[in-house]
Amino acid sequence: MLVLATSAMATRFELVLVDDGDRLRARAAGEAALEAIARCDAEWSAFASDSFLAHLNRTAAVRPVPLDADQFELLAACDDAWRASGGAFDPSIAPLLRALDARAALDVDAAREHVGWSAVRLDRERRTLRFARPGVALDLGGIAKGHALELAARELRAAGIANALLHGGTSSVLALGSPPDAAGWRVALEGGAGAPTVELRDASLSVSAQHGRTLADGSGHVLDPRARAGFASDATVAVVAADARIAEAWSTALLVLGELPSEPEPARAAGEACGAFELDRSRRDSRADSRADSRADSRADSRAESRAEARAESRAESRAESGADSRAGRSAIADHSSDALVRVPRGLDAAIGRGPRFARTWQYNRSPDVSSFVRSAQVPT
């Protein structure tokens, strides 16, 4: 085994490579993978004024910004996740995130008015992105680590490395193949005896929670973009998916939604990329109702009216550009209907752990015989 590491995206990335006896080839491949992670960090940094993300945020309200293949792939994944999650995943939360995390006073209410992916126009034919109005900005902290892992894994595959484990900050993990003499890479969802583990083979894991980093105002670092506000949660959400970007986006979305999706509608066509899932109301914790009440109390009537007008104008412009299918998706999301179906990618495994850390009760969205999650007292190293 060969272990390489680097610091990027304010965390530590590590690669564990099975070298198959050719250590020089494995090291060269690993170093190329680390360079891909560093390039991704430089490109999508929310803090560097010379990053591509900074350029995008400065320019996209003025004119469409051309995207290369990797940039387009990431932003298309964001667009897909926003639509499918009913707005629970939304990188346009950046203005509010910046306002709440500012040490100097910023206008939080004004920042809220700039939140909403419905103002983001991704042209999939021309591969460009623009903003429908000034003030919109993106923060890809909820998906960029997954993108970096995918780019690193691509370098490894190109070099012939078939078995490796990659992680960014331990909360985002990508597995290629398996370690020697094992069916897959076993990863514990948290420390301590009895922690549930995941066996990964050619799959990715993402874990999201509110504990850890907090914003300057004391709120958790994950915001609810539909309510344009922070929220309290003792949950830890784990998602397994084939793509690390999808895993990251959906662990964030399910933390915001606060509940697991149930099984897809049986009437939907087999093999369809996404299935329509009802949110499982029996698994909702008590914070959902109280959060809804506090949000309703905190929003002024005048602000609600102005948002409704802005959403109506944005929907009208979107309808002119996007066609019938996009119209339906945007309309449902803009209305933030609690009864709207959430379209979760097929094959996605999800689990929510609730309660004190290291003493959680875990729930799974699929039965044990089809779930990637393995209940085990073994905590792998």
Question: Residue 359 and residue 84: Cα distance in Å, rounded?
Answer: 32
Q: What is the pLDDT of residues 231-266, one digit of tens each?
A: 788 889 999 999 999 999 999 999 999 888 765 544
82 phi/psi in degrees, rounded to 5: -60, -50
Asked whether residue 190 is domain-assigned, the answer is no
Which amino acid, one-letter code, is at 243? D
Question: Residue 342 and residue 338: Cα distance in Å, rounded?
Answer: 10
Would you state the pLDDT for residue 262? Answer: 63
Asked whether residue 20 is domain-assigned, the answer is yes
In the chain, which stretches have pLDDT less than 70? 102-106, 212-219, 262-341, 357-358, 368-369, 375-381
Q: What is the pLDDT of residues 68-102, one digit of tens each?
A: 999 999 999 999 999 999 999 999 999 888 888 76
Smallest CA-to-CA distance from 217 within 99, 47, 95, 112 is with 99
Smallest CA-to-CA distance from 333 within 57, 79, 74 is with 79
Asked whether residue 153 is domain-assigned, the answer is yes
Question: Residue 321 and residue 20: Cα distance in Å, rounded?
Answer: 52
212: left (phi over 0), alpha (psi -120 to 50) or beta: left
Partners of residue 362 on adjacent β-strands:
353
Helix, strand, or coil (residue 368):
coil
Asked whether residue 220 is domain-assigned, the answer is no
Question: Residue 189 and residue 167: Cα distance in Å, rounded?
Answer: 13
Asked whether residue 168 is domain-assigned, the answer is yes
Would you state the pLDDT for residue 11? Answer: 92
Which amino acid, one-letter code, is at 48? A
Question: Regarding beta strands 120-123 and 342-345, do their DSSP bridges make them parallel or antiparallel, or are they unpaired?
Answer: unpaired
How many CA atoms lie within 13 Å of 304's alpha carbon, on the beta-carbon side? 10
Listed in sequence order, the residues at least 6 apart from 305 whose beta carbon sits closer than 8 Å to its beta carbon are: none
Q: What is the pTM of this model?
A: 0.80
Question: Residue 375 and residue 381: Cα distance in Å, rounded?
Answer: 16
Asked whether residue 36 is domain-assigned, the answer is yes
Asked whether residue 352 is domain-assigned, the answer is no
Question: Residue 206 and residue 84: Cα distance in Å, rounded?
Answer: 18
343 phi/psi in degrees, rounded to 5: -95, 95
Number of domains in the chain: 1
Q: What is the pLDDT of residues 8-31, one digit of tens each?
A: 998 999 999 998 888 999 999 999
Question: Residue 336 and residue 227: Cα distance in Å, rounded?
Answer: 9
Would you state the pLDDT for residue 277? Answer: 53
Residue with tokens 């490894």: 156
Smallest CA-to-CA distance from 15 within 48, 38, 45 is with 38
Residue 84 in tokens: 């499918």
Q: 42 is in which domain, residue-wise?
A: 1-46+142-182
133 with 119: CB under 8 angstroms?
A: yes
Residue 229 in tokens: 């506000």
243 phi/psi in degrees, rounded to 5: -115, 135
Smallest CA-to-CA distance from 226 within 149, 176, 276, 296 is with 296
Asked whether residue 166 is domain-assigned, the answer is yes
Would you state the pLDDT for residue 306? Answer: 44
Helix, strand, or coil (residue 231):
coil
Q: Classify residue 214 by its DSSP letter.
A: B
Report CA torsion sign: 34, 12, 237, 43: negative
